[in-house]
Amino acid sequence: VFVFSGQGSQWVGMGRRLLADEPVFAAAVDELEPVFARQVGFSLREVIEQGREVSGDARVQPVIMGLQLALAALWRSYGVVPDAVIGHSMGEVSAAVVAGALTPEQGLRVIGVRSALMSRQAGQGAVALLELDAAAAHELLAGFSGVEVAGYLSPRQTVVAGAPADVDAVIAEVAAAERFARRVNMEVASHTAFMDPILEELRAELADIVPQTPQIPFLSTVVDPSGPTPVLDADYWVANVRQPARVNQALTVAGDKYGTFIEISPHPILTHTIDENLDAVPHRSIGTLVRDDDDTVVFHQHLNSADQLSPRELPHPSGPYPVLPTTPWRHTRHWLDVEQAITAAESAPRPGLLLGTHITVGSTPAVHLWQARLAPAAKPYPGSHRNNGVELVPASVLLNTLSEAAAEVSGHGAVSDIRFEHPIIVDRPRTIQVVADAETVTVSSKSVTDDPAGRWIKHLTARITPREEAVGPTVGSARGVDHTGTVFGDDAVTSLWQAWGSEGRPFEWSLASGSRTETELFADVTAASAGTAALLDAALHVARLVDEANPELMVPSAVDEVRLGAAPADGHAGVIVRRRDGNDGELVVDIVVPGPDGTPCVDIRGLRYTALGSSTPADDPSSIAHVIDWEPWDGEPQSPSQPGTLAIVGGSSAAERLREQLTALGHRNAGVAEAKTVVYVADPGHADESDVDCAARLAGEVADLVATLATRETRPPALWLVTRGVHEAATEAAVRQSCLWGLAGVIRAEQPQLCGGLVDLADDETAAADVAALAGILGTPAKSVLVLRDGKFLAPAFTPLAGPPQREPTVCQPDGTYLITGGLGALGLLMAGWLADRGARRLLLVGRTGLPPRRDWDSEEIEAGVRQKVAAIRALERRGVTVDIAALDVGSRAAVVELLARRDEAGAPPIRGIIHAAGITEGQLLTEVDADRLRDTMWPKVSGAQVLHELFAPTTLDFFFMTAAAGAVFGVPGQGAYASANAYLDGLARARHRQGCHSVSLDWVAWKGLGFGAEAHVVLHELERMGSRPITPAEAFAAWDHVEHYDVAQAVMVPLPAEGEQGTPGAGGAGPVRDWAQLSADDILSELEIGLRSILARELRMPEAELQLDRPFAELGLNSVMAMAVRRDIEGLVGLELSATMLWNHPTTSALAAHLTGKLVPRDDAGDDAAAGGDLPESADSVLNELFDSVESAPAGWDGI
């Protein structure tokens, strides 16, 4: 039986591989192509061939049908011919064509008309899948007049549909009874009364369809499938849209006659339903393709599972034919490439180092590569090193690695300018690469489970100290060190580090005695094994105790210089630590461990410890880098027939036209003091008004309006902002208005009672459908930015930036200059280092305030802040980077033009890339806005960006990065001007991106201790409130590197919970139920862990050995559809009926096994392990539900932008 499922199986790239590999499939698509284009208005082949994403009923349904018809032809070509067909919802149209009742042209006409009419109802309804039988569902819905049964899938699954709020209420009630209940990704309440408005038009459009008698039995899901075959005319297709789909009846009838059921779809969504309906009879349920998998391989796997083959529909000798035994295909990739050639040479890292197999790359100068495989069972240190519960490679191993690599390249082991960029987490196997040339050493890694295109994470960089600087002075012994301070012992070291959040010692060493003062520390230590790494580890641990009073977990973040020598043969040495001045929140020390001859075996200058905090840095940059997707808004606008009093504010002709249009729909004009709703329509002004003046005017007008409305004595009105074309940013006028997108979030944060939202209309004349939609929403505050196009509202949602790379990352050219505005600030100098890492050799750093003349850089009179900037510039210059500094106001066009003219006259290399990082913050509430301060805050970002935009055409730059702030996206109280300025950058980036420039606005969250995060405590509070946090510079640059692989104009750089990767369902069932009563609780627990591991591994299609018992199901890729299959197999294993919420409440294999043990044995015999499987607290349960939801659907954003 061919089963044609309904909507929901589509995915990007479906069928593309089959076009190349299967001629029959390609021919079927080509045969459909002219008919498809004629009936639905676009190309099926282009959608498949180009891997385009399809959305909206009017496109999704025809594409799925086209795929289904081509897949049916493919099955037939291999001899698999249906004895009967079944269709679910829209799938009935495909079934009718395959059965011969409709021609392909008739079928595509039915689906085209059907989907176009249904799309009119988009957004008005919702659909849910419930773990209830039909009777229970009807009993429940008696209390919900707005919800109806839309489909009967199986004895335990019912589909309901209706108004979104009512459907959500039904879901909540079912979930409260610990039954599965989830929304389905549909926005049309098909098969309910919500379809009544389109039925007569559908009947009229299809009135001339003349169906034929099916050549293959057509088992209807609309009428009784055991009765006569219905006539598939216009009346039938009206009933198909309106009546509930009775899939269970059709499957039950088919199960009495047939044993093999093949779902014809891009991804299986009915195979589990088939299994549940036919559980009592022998049967086989097979899919066709699987989401995000190899089409050709998956199809042939399923083909191999279809035992009952008919003769191929190709020329060949006549039958009969023997049925060949199935072959268990095992597909493994064996492509040879450079990546795998290197991987094959990997070895475990050397003890105390991360160095593995050595390869010399033939270049001038030579490049040396060491590659090793790091794994929890193959660490280069014998002990453990856990910070906040996470195993990390210790700093002792990292520094030892840098020194050894430098020694093998240069003959000495001195390294300097060491930067710890990202910790190496030892939670899974990783490939470690250490690369050294004549000047630098870099340590990077990549998870071995990544695909070949997976990203490398840079963890550590250092400069090899020139030979003439590498010989340090003889330091003598510990004489002269103050030994009269506080005495401490080995136990103190262990207890303090544990209190700070770090457990374990990577190497075995002991402390005989120690003493410390406020600025000095001496420790007598002995390493159990010879070698520098253990002694270095002891020194790094005891050095932290010089600042014992600081309760933070502090770890090395940077080192000025390291020299390592041979350790004493007996491992015994004295550690001398001297404290130096450092920045706030930073501990800076020098460490010396003298050797027997007075030459230091450890000499560390300028080691900086910084607070790690309680959060572990993100290992996946896609948990920080996000894009904004625009999805159908799930709000419920009022009917346009419910007008109210309205004040339209704005002096533009667009405001006047909108006032007339809304008045025509029944809204009554009123003043701001009396109106129930106030609508501010942005006026982009005239060309002679600068962008910063326009932005300040718009923001000031809105702030004045907020201040007025906030003091109104009557009930607060809903304030709406209206912009035009900002979403596309195709015109200068649209870019000017983009500042209001940032201001909208601040209104929501400061004055939520006033916030209606912001609606962005199309840039051209407003269509009647948009005016009607706008009129309907004004009475329903959305508190979000909404885009209104073609009568439909779109709302923002954050999506992690992931998927295959779309572009090669930017590489700076050695003959170009790269400009950084705000280049002398803390962020600007770090960004300068990032550009140097990318190959930049000439940097132009621009700031309002320059630096003293170079002759004064070593003066003791310069301030500490200036000294830090000088040190950063000298570090760049030591790397071979030429740094020019210009003190000017980047917002002044004349000043920038003069600078460029001087550079041209001097023959300076052209500017090829820009990072616009200039900006200031100025906190003031919207009700207290001062016009001058408002403009001053906007000036560096807005005016500076406009000047650079006008002087550097899009085609003249390799890149134009704008450092905006995430406050423009989620809204921060008191930051109206700052958020507006950053939102302007977002709009300008979209505009330049449209013109072909690699222009990206990066909406940064606060960086720890730097820039915005260091100045505004309210930002940190808002981050904490929303469940986010500041990020470290290392995390920031790793995420920026990640963004560079994608063609986006805006990236929101905010750490959010990591998304699980969606898995794919497998097949299989549990064996016969065993007699659990004969086993003890411990034996039951052990047997259940084995059985559950087998079931889960089969469903997740992964080796059992790789399934970790304590890893959450969502992280393994288990979604709720797969959870149904898992639950059914577990029911077969334990012989009990279980709820689908079981997997939510017990989210790991070990927890689930303990929970089931408690059900299989008396409670007093279950033991402590079984007791551990009890229900989670409600808060944890909520988190798990969100995590499972994130696996199945596009992630929802915060409350708008």
Q: Any idea which residues carry the catalytic annotation?
A: 385, 537
Residues 6+ apart with CB under 8 A from 535: 509, 525, 527, 567, 568, 571, 573, 593, 601, 602
**1049 neighbors 961 (Cβ within 8 angstroms):** no
- CA distance linking residue 609 with residue 448, whole number of Å: 31
Structure tokens at 867: 């000294």
Residue with tokens 């050095």: 543
Give every CB contact of residue 1027 below 8 A, 6+ residues apart in sequence: 1056, 1057
Instruction: Give the residue among 737, 641, 617, 609 at the shortest CA–CA distance from 680.
Output: 737
Q: Which residue has the tokens 């010396």?
A: 592
SS3 52: coil
Distance (Å, whole) CA 626 – CA 578 = 44
* Strands (DSSP E) found in 624-704: 625-632, 645-649, 668-669, 677-681
Q: What is the DSSP letter of 940?
A: I
Rounded Cα–Cα distance for residues 1011 and 1148 (Å): 41
Q: Report the alpha-carbon distance of residue 682 to residue 649 in Å, rounded.
A: 9
Handedness of CA 72, 76, 79, 80 (dihedral sign): positive
Give me the sign of the Cα torsion angle 241, 246, 247, 251. Answer: negative
Rounded to 5 degrees, φ, ψ at 1174 are -65, 170
Residue 937 is inside which H or E element, if any? helix 931-938
Alpha helices in 711-737 (DSSP H): 732-737
* CA dist list (Å): 761 to 163, 627, 642: 26, 21, 21
Per DSSP, the residues of 299-331 read HHHHHHH---PPPPSSS------PPPPP-----
Strand 625-632 to 1050-1053 pairing: antiparallel
Long-range contacts of 312-319 (CB under 8 A, 24+ apart): 312/77, 312/78, 312/79, 313/76, 313/77, 313/79, 313/81, 314/77
Q: Would you state the structure tokens that stand for residue 129, as one six-digit string?
A: 């899948």
- Start-to-end Cα distance in the chain: 49
Both structure tokens of 599: 């030459």
- Tell me whether the omega of the peptide bond preceding residue 315 falls within 30 degrees of 0, making it cis: no
Q: What tokens were used for 653?
A: 């002709």
Q: Tell me the chain's radius of gyration from C-alpha atoms.
A: 34
Cβ distance 261 to 3 under 8 Å?
A: yes
Six-digit token string for 1153:
């096994």
> Residues 743, 980: contact at Cβ < 8 Å?
yes
Q: Which helix (H) or strand (E) holds 248?
A: helix 247-255
Decide if 286 contacts 1 (C-beta within 8 A): no
896 backbone dihedrals φ, ψ, rounded to 5°:
-70, -40
**Torsion of Cα atoms, 200 then 204 then 209 then 211, to 10°:** 30
